[in-house]
Structure 1
Amino acid sequence: MQKIDSNNNFYMAFYDDRFKINRVVVAFIDRLEKEKNTLNALFPMVLIRGNNKYKDMKEINRVLDNMYGASLSIDVDKKGDLQTITFSISFLNDRFAGEQLYEKSLQFLHDIIYGPIEYGGGFKEEVIEQEKNNLKQEIEGRINDKVQYAIDRCIEIMFEGQNYALYEKGNADDLKTITKDKLFLQYKEVVEKKPMYVMIYGDYNEEYAISKALEVFGQNQREDIKNDFSINFPFAGTRYITEEMEVNQGKISIGIRTNVDTRSTDYYKLLLLNGVLGASPKSKLFENVREKASLCYYAFSRVDRFKSVMVISSGIEIENYEKALNLILQQLEDIKKGVITTVEYESAINYYKTALMAIYDSPRDLLGFYLNQALVGEMLEPKEIFEMLKDVNVSDVKEIANRFEVDTVYFLRNRGAM
């Protein structure tokens, strides 16, 4: 890997000759804030609809087809108190194309991102309204995935009034107040002033790859924006929240303050704890709550490194709420006492070995992994993280568990049930 940091422009190149398809990612980082999050979700959707160089999606697709079926994608995500706006292009390696597709892909991606500025024309009102409607449908469609909806509601309640509670794609009501000028100003603010990460993956000399990317995207001065990894309001005891909706299956989501500095080596202890509790195939939640007690349809846990939060999620029969919740929380108590079997520990280790090694099989996953690493402030490889995990013992896991505070227990149930 080779990298260059200059004026909050971060260039990273990763040489790998195993794949025919190479990938370039350009990511901008902004603060996750109300109203601005909706603008930041909308403008990438408008950008890929065309500009004064590429008139519309038909012309964009024609260019991609002429680049041997290259693919263009956008993504907006939440990383703690940050919002990432990502543009990606995947394309055939130059060796197989017989031409310099890498340099063409860099310029094409630049023209998609900066076209409305460099070629004039701004944004089209008609396109904005169409993409507003598409984004509105996506936001309102969140409710259709009840598992994720219950997790999101748990986080929204747990972090009420905090930026971390916001949805990365914004709010449907905010769309009503977005004008063409307002959207264009926010777009310019992001692509010209916010931190930029340009990440290149493929069969290229790393110095050459970065030098060509620098020629296209430059290194103008940008803002310094950092994530706040900690929870900055006091714990006030566990809250129990129940909401009703037309559901056939109850959803439990439990938000936990881990009180772990996830930029330290304690993060790897937390990660292994997560494997023991609810991530691995032989985890406590799966084996004891689902398989042995038959009290849930699924149960898992996950950790957000960018905010030191763990969430436990489970789907249950509504009448089993008390039994299921008590047994779920009992699994945490057992870990706090150091009650961890060899099978649970080894299953967690093997789970992460498989998951981390699988990252190497996908350029998309690798660049996503390294972007997260860069935002955390470390650049370990997946295999190095696995070595860190192997050094974690049961006593380490027990110590981390005893820092936990169960903040919010959210239950989504059917109307009129119980």
Structure 2
Amino acid sequence: MFLTTQLAKGVSLHIRQTAQFKTVNFSIKWRRPLTEKDAAERTVLTNVLQHSNERFKTSAAFRSYLDDLFGTILYFDTSKRGNEHTVLMNVETVNDHYLADSNVLNDALELLHTAIFKPNLENDAFVPAIVEREKEMVKQRIQSIFDDKSRYAQYRLTQILRPNHPASISANGTIEQVEAVTPASLKQAYDSMLANDTIDIYVVGDIDVEEMKEKLKKALPFGDREVHEKQAPIEVETKPEAYTRERQEMKQGKLHIGYSTPVYFGHEDFAKMQIFNGIFGGYAHSKLFMNVRERESLAYYASSSYSSQYGLVFVVSGIEPSNEKKAVDVINEQLKVMQDGEISELELTQTKAMLTNQLKEALDSARGQIEIYDQYKDLNEAFTVDTWAARWQEVTAEDVQKMAQQVNQEAVYFLSGKED
């Protein structure tokens, strides 16, 4: 799918030459082990880099130039996967093939170089006023979790399930760690990111592969760095609190349940666990949706998700507080019937079709192709839709039953109104 070459030790370039799109898409991902301190510093850093640089001192000037480049899109962000924190930079620009007289691609590459290697500095540190402004923006982003009750309930559940663990560390860090960021410490974080992070560079578009390699070697002159081995999942030593209830000013109750599974991303049973989650609560035909929401009318919504990087399954639902006990009972009942092998051929067929269609839809965009490949390349095998469709197709009801039997409930978290 992608042609991979090494630009330097620890710096990989992945190019997909395709006439599928009229744009050229770039994605650069800097990775390092996940800590709250690094997450906070690097999130503030992405905000600072996004809005100004040595060439364009203001956000308005920067955005105006992007508009001049036929609406080129450039943005920074942060994310996490497993035990790693990622700073990403995405750029999408029009392909010169579709313009009469233009050099937009070269201008975009020059801008990409400027945004990364020529930040807006003052006395060898980031500009204090800009840093303070962006710190406030990041703190507001973190604070917004507490205003969204569903996100807050999920945040609390992961804290209860996996305290001081990558699963419960936000990709944005904490408010306290953000407040501790200074212009000088941010410059140190920036220097460390460029010099030490493992880097993956992605390109998707109708381009000349060899020409693009040469252009990127000049635009992105990253040096060698130590390659960090992928860390194994962190062992959990403490048993979480089985039940937690909290109250806030709100009406609808948020019932979130956490389960563990020994099947992680890359495990030989990974595809089977994907099927399990789809039947349990992943789709509109799932047991949770059909029974908790439709049959019993106990929830405004009810679904499950499989966090394969951490070996966790989550059930989330919005309920009336008076329905809490019955909702928990019916949710438990759905896991029990799967553990007993009550899995229909229709549920299997529909789930396999949904997973395959989701994968195909993701690959309809350049960004989707990058993200899918970036995840599945860690499996050290050639990724194709056909390979995974065939893998899902082989999963039987007995396989799903075995997956269900390995899923163990660890914690129930219920958030409701103060008057309940």
TM-score, with normalisation over the residues of structure 1? Answer: 0.94
Give the CA deviation at 1:235. 6.6
1:52/1:120 contact within 8 Å kept: no
Write the deviation string for residues 60-118 of structure 1: whole angstroms up to 9, x where unpaired. 12321221110111221121121111111111012013434333322211210111299
* Percent identity between the two aligned chains: 24
Instruction: Provide the secondary structure at the position in 1 that maps to 2:51.
Output: coil
Letter in 1 for 2:417: N
CA distance in 1, matches of 2:68, 2:20: 23
Which residue, out of 389, 393, 396, partners 2:396? 393
CA distance in 1, matches of 2:245, 2:359: 36
Structure 2 counterpart of 1:233: 236
Give the CA deviation at 1:405. 1.8
Give the CA deviation at 1:157. 1.3
CA distance in 1, matches of 2:218, 2:397: 51
2:293/2:299 contact within 8 Å kept: yes
Which residue, out of 337, 341, 344, partners 2:340? 337
Structure 1 counterpart of 2:76: 74
CA distance in 2, matches of 1:83, 1:327: 37
Change (3 A) 1:273 1:235: farther
Which residue, out of 367, 370, 373, partners 2:370? 367
CA distance in 1, matches of 2:246, 2:323: 16
Query: Is 2:14 the partner of 1:15?
Result: no
Change (3 A) 1:397 1:96: same
Structure 1 counterpart of 2:321: 318
Structure 1 counterpart of 2:356: 353
CA distance in 2, matches of 1:206, 1:153: 47
CA distance in 2, matches of 1:8, 1:247: 49
Change (3 A) 1:154 1:265: same
1:28/1:195 contact within 8 Å kept: yes
2:195/2:222 contact within 8 Å kept: no
Structure 1 counterpart of 2:40: 38
CA distance in 2, matches of 1:118, 1:4: 33
Q: How many pairs are equivalent?
A: 417
Structure 2 counterpart of 1:295: 298
Write the deviation string for residues 161-184 of structure 1: whole angstroms up to 9, x where unpaired. 223311111111222221110111
Moved more, 58-67 or 130-139: 58-67
Write the deviation string for residues 376-402 of structure 1: whole angstroms up to 9, x where unpaired. 555513443222211211111111121
Letter in 2 for 1:301: S
Change (3 A) 1:90 1:77: same
2:49/2:76 contact within 8 Å kept: no
CA distance in 2, matches of 1:117, 1:70: 21
Instruction: Provide the secondary structure at the position in 2 that maps to 1:371.
Output: helix
Letter in 2 for 1:101: V
Letter in 2 for 1:32: L
Change (3 A) 1:385 1:119: farther
Query: Is 2:214 the partner of 1:211?
Result: yes
Query: Is 2:31 the partner of 1:49?
Result: no
Instruction: Provide the secondary structure at the position in 1 that maps to 2:317.
Output: strand
Query: Aligned ranges for residues 167-186 of structure 1 at < 5 Å?
Result: 167-186=170-189
Give the CA deviation at 1:370. 1.8
Instruction: Provide the secondary structure at the position in 2 that maps to 1:361.
Output: coil
Query: Is 2:399 the partner of 1:380?
Result: no
Structure 2 counterpart of 1:309: 312
Instruction: Provide the secondary structure at the position in 1 that maps to 2:274.
Output: helix
Change (3 A) 1:174 1:246: same
Instruction: Provide the secondary structure at the position in 1 that maps to 2:12.
Output: strand
2:160/2:241 contact within 8 Å kept: no
CA distance in 2, matches of 1:413, 1:379: 47
Letter in 1 for 2:367: R
Change (3 A) 1:238 1:277: farther
Query: Aligned ranges for residues 104-115 of structure 1 at < 5 Å?
Result: 104-115=107-118
Instruction: Provide the secondary structure at the position in 2 that maps to 1:386.
Output: helix
2:75/2:91 contact within 8 Å kept: yes
Structure 1 counterpart of 2:61: 59
Moved more, 228-237 or 213-222: 228-237
CA distance in 1, matches of 2:400, 2:86: 31
CA distance in 1, matches of 2:254, 2:95: 46
Letter in 1 for 2:158: I
2:52/2:120 contact within 8 Å kept: no
Which residue, out of 261, 265, 268, partners 2:264? 261
1:2/1:207 contact within 8 Å kept: no
Structure 2 counterpart of 1:88: 90
Query: Aligned ranges for residues 196-207 of structure 1 at < 5 Å?
Result: 196-207=199-210
Give the CA deviation at 1:155. 0.9
Instruction: Provide the secondary structure at the position in 1 that maps to 2:119.
Output: helix
Instruction: Provide the secondary structure at the position in 1 that maps to 2:305.
Output: strand
CA distance in 1, matches of 2:386, 2:151: 29
Structure 2 counterpart of 1:3: 4
1:80/1:227 contact within 8 Å kept: no
Instruction: Provide the secondary structure at the position in 1 that maps to 2:363.
Output: helix
What runs of 5+ residues in structure 2 fail to find an aligned partner? none
TM-score, with normalisation over the residues of structure 2? Answer: 0.94
Give the CA deviation at 1:16. 1.8
1:280/1:347 contact within 8 Å kept: no
